Structure 1
Amino acid sequence: MNQLHAILPEIETPLLKAIRNEILSEGPMPVSRYMGLCLGHPRHGYYVTRDPLGAEGDFTTAPEISQMFGELLGLWAVAMWQQMGAPSAFRLVELGPGRGTLMADALRAARLLPAFISAAQVHMVETSPVLRKAQRRALKNCGVEVSWHDRMEDLPDGPAIVLANEFFDALPVDQYVHTADGWHEKRVGLDADGMLVFGLDAAPSPLAAAFSAHLPPPAEGAVLERMDAGPARALSSRLVAQGGAALIIDYGHGGGYGDTLQALHNHSFVSPLANPGMVDLTAHVDFALLARIGAATGLSPYGLLGQGEFLIRLGLGQRTQALMKGKSEAEQMAIAAAATRLAGTEREHMGKLFKVLALVHPSLGAPPAFDSSERIPA
């Protein structure tokens, strides 16, 4: 394995010991394996051992910034349910639901239409025991039956509306680097001192050549990422067979080359190889891949919209003004600042970096907030 660079971990974490032992036993591991262990190891994984959200965590998501985000997604779900013919029973699903804030806000807004609440059966797909406890607290008095599942495949049958905010960015990715003799898989190994190190497989990878067939010819040194496509295929297959729609919001791109693997700790970027199990690892979502999977399965993909444009179409401006009524000047400024952070276009805002993709059953037409012209061709 050709080494790229080594990182000295700040501390000897329990997960680092387990990773080192696996590498010594089985050889350098794919980036996806390393990422999966860091996030989901049953004893030492990042999401298994902590609540990563908020000022005391490592990052903040849109639902934690303002109640308006979840409320507007709740109204989107109501409009989507009506477009589905208002079925008397359906599954309202959230993938990777954080603290449950988004769902709690969405259900509160959706109470404007009692028939929606009566028909909804809420299902949360969450593997973290710490976050499940937070979700139970948030939804304790939501007035709707709530169930939890480890996997999407465990969801009960029936039409579904699926919300996925910052879910796909946490899925493990494989990485490949283009050299003079083709694509080589990037792996995590050990250097002579036992430190974690990125390196390249000596033999070219035929898989990467297939993954990049739809892209322009790569330059030497180009990095190709391939996220775990299993959840997207499971989601698409379910919606095609049983009806419904999915709304996917995440930071990402429309396809291409680039190394987007990143690690966050205390709201700052750190090395992905430092302190495994104690920092958040993510990669930018390949929305083009999600759209291709949806279209190949039989769904109609719509997008990509920037998060800001999407929220504005749903009525963010009007909701901001309504929340400001009767508030103090300081409270009004805080509400306006939250709306700007959600929808603004500056680098520190989420309005352009975060993208929105809708996958809908082909019988339903364009989903709420999307135009028919925004359907992504297969």
Structure 2
Amino acid sequence: MTALADLLIARIGQTGPITLADYMAECLLHPKHGYYATRDPFGTKGDFITAPEISQMFGEMLGLCLAQAWIDQGQPTHFTLAEIGPGRGTLMADMLRATKSVPGFHDAASVHLIEASPVLRAKQAELVPQATWHDTISTLPDAPLFMVANEFFDALPIRQFTRDDAGWREHMVGVQDDTLTLGLSAAAPIEALDHRLDDTKTGDLVELCPALPGIAAQIGQRIADHGGAALIIDYGDWRSLGDTLQAITDHAPVDPFNAPGDADLTAHVDFEAIAQAASPAQFTRLTTQGVFLERLGVTNRAQSLAQHLTGDGLDQHIAAHRRLTHPSEMGEIFKVIGLHPKGTPPPAGLTHDA
């Protein structure tokens, strides 16, 4: 049991079961006991490792991709270079280093990080001291927006529904024998899932992310209004189906309800929902991370870096390249979608549906 578990059990005892989204929000963002409020979860000493922490090549490819999009859109003299959910700041730092030699890019860029965690803000300030921090996208400047979101949407709280003959039954977090547990609500029609009646059957589980449409809509609207591009990288697929909630502690899966506040909770991303919500902007075909990075030239970059490495350093470098790109590692399960203004080229490495 954790202190947060005691608080949640008391709350449920007073007001009844809560949605899975409410549970995830408390576990991740409770100001005193939430996962992101109390620790730096990244790296080998944390609970998980993201692509920027695996190799500098990831950030270098993304930075050059956005720089090319900036060139393709006429090199606006003032633009916002932003990351939402920037972790330790490693990705943005690598992007800035890789684009330093792009003429005019840094002179025109204003760096902004959207981050809720005070612990992570402090880490980011060490690597990206020139950044301006925001709690939400809404306070970003009104300017062309070149943005990256890597493993951001997977951390947004989700709701789960199982289809029933009479409608949908929502998965609710309740208490049984002084233990947090999942149960099901009564069946009811859910308007937000009307579009899933044609491709699901009784017993199928579908996930909804309540915060996703609003965030994606803001990104898409800003790009449509002011120009720019967004790269969204995460694990997931075009459309949600099945239970994808997972909890990770010390790089291993654990019970999501065993120690609330002490584990990272995530779910697979519904990229179709992102594309639909961001519709004022043009979206690209969903592409696997491995294919995307290969199109950007990551193998050539890996070979260049390898020339200066030997022994364990070389072995680690080769393993990092494989982890980022190979289908059996991150290359297949992680996907990429790009957003850009209609009438402009898609970001490098991405294409539109035929």
Q: Same fold (TM over 0.5)?
A: yes
Listed one character per residue, the Cα deviations across residues 320-363 of structure 1 (whole Å, up to 9, x for unaligned) are 011011322332222111100000111xx100010000011113
SS of equivalent to 1:34: helix
Following superposition, the deviation at residue 244 of structure 1 comes to 1.3
Q: Does 2:251 correspond to 1:271?
A: no
Report if the CA contact (8 A) 2:166-2:189 is conserved.
no
Report if the CA contact (8 A) 2:67-2:99 is conserved.
yes
Following superposition, the deviation at residue 223 of structure 1 comes to 0.6
Q: Does 2:307 correspond to 1:325?
A: yes
Taking the aligned partners of 1:34 and 1:363, their CA distance within structure 2 comes to 42
Taking the aligned partners of 1:375 and 1:122, their CA distance within structure 2 comes to 32
Of the three residues 318, 338, 346, the one matched with 1:358 is 338
Taking the aligned partners of 2:157 and 2:193, their CA distance within structure 1 comes to 19
Of the three residues 245, 249, 260, the one matched with 2:229 is 245
Amino acid at match of 1:264: I
What is the match of residue 239 of structure 2?
255
Give unpaired runs (5+ residues) of structure 2.
none
TM-score between both structures, scaled by the size of structure 1: 0.90
Report if the CA contact (8 A) 2:339-2:346 is conserved.
no
Amino acid at match of 1:84: Q
Following superposition, the deviation at residue 211 of structure 1 comes to 4.9
Report if the CA contact (8 A) 1:183-1:208 is conserved.
no
Amino acid at match of 2:344: L
Following superposition, the deviation at residue 232 of structure 1 comes to 1.2
What is the match of residue 202 of structure 1?
186
Taking the aligned partners of 1:209 and 1:69, their CA distance within structure 2 comes to 36
Following superposition, the deviation at residue 29 of structure 1 comes to 0.6
Of the three residues 61, 79, 91, the one matched with 2:80 is 91
SS of equivalent to 1:196: strand
Report if the CA contact (8 A) 2:20-2:173 is conserved.
yes
Report if the CA contact (8 A) 1:92-1:122 is conserved.
yes
Matches within 5 A, 1:1-378: 11=1, 13-140=2-129, 145-191=130-176, 193-213=177-197, 215-216=198-199, 218-228=200-210, 229-295=213-279, 298-346=280-328, 349-371=329-351, 374-375=352-353
Amino acid at match of 1:122: V
Listed one character per residue, the Cα deviations across residues 283-339 of structure 1 (whole Å, up to 9, x for unaligned) are 0000111112222xx211102111000001111111001101132233222211110
Following superposition, the deviation at residue 208 of structure 1 comes to 5.0
Taking the aligned partners of 1:203 and 1:176, their CA distance within structure 2 comes to 10
TM-score between both structures, scaled by the size of structure 2: 0.96
Amino acid at match of 1:195: T
Listed one character per residue, the Cα deviations across residues 33-83 of structure 1 (whole Å, up to 9, x for unaligned) are 111111111111100110001111110000000000011111111101101
Report if the CA contact (8 A) 1:185-1:205 is conserved.
no
Listed one character per residue, the Cα deviations across residues 181-227 of structure 1 (whole Å, up to 9, x for unaligned) are 22111110111x121111111241423542524x51x2322111011
Report if the CA contact (8 A) 1:225-1:258 is conserved.
yes
Listed one character per residue, the Cα deviations across residues 222-281 of structure 1 (whole Å, up to 9, x for unaligned) are 111011222112222222222211100000011142010110011111111110011000
Among the aligned pairs, what percent are the same residue? 44
Taking the aligned partners of 2:92 and 2:82, their CA distance within structure 1 comes to 9
The count of aligned residue pairs is 352
Report if the CA contact (8 A) 2:236-2:335 is conserved.
yes
Following superposition, the deviation at residue 25 of structure 1 comes to 2.0
Give unpaired runs (5+ residues) of structure 1.
1-10
RMSD, aligned CA: 1.4
Taking the aligned partners of 1:14 and 1:169, their CA distance within structure 2 comes to 25
Taking the aligned partners of 1:234 and 1:22, their CA distance within structure 2 comes to 33
Greater mean alpha carbon deviation, residues 279-288 or residues 106-115: 106-115
Taking the aligned partners of 1:271 and 1:207, their CA distance within structure 2 comes to 31
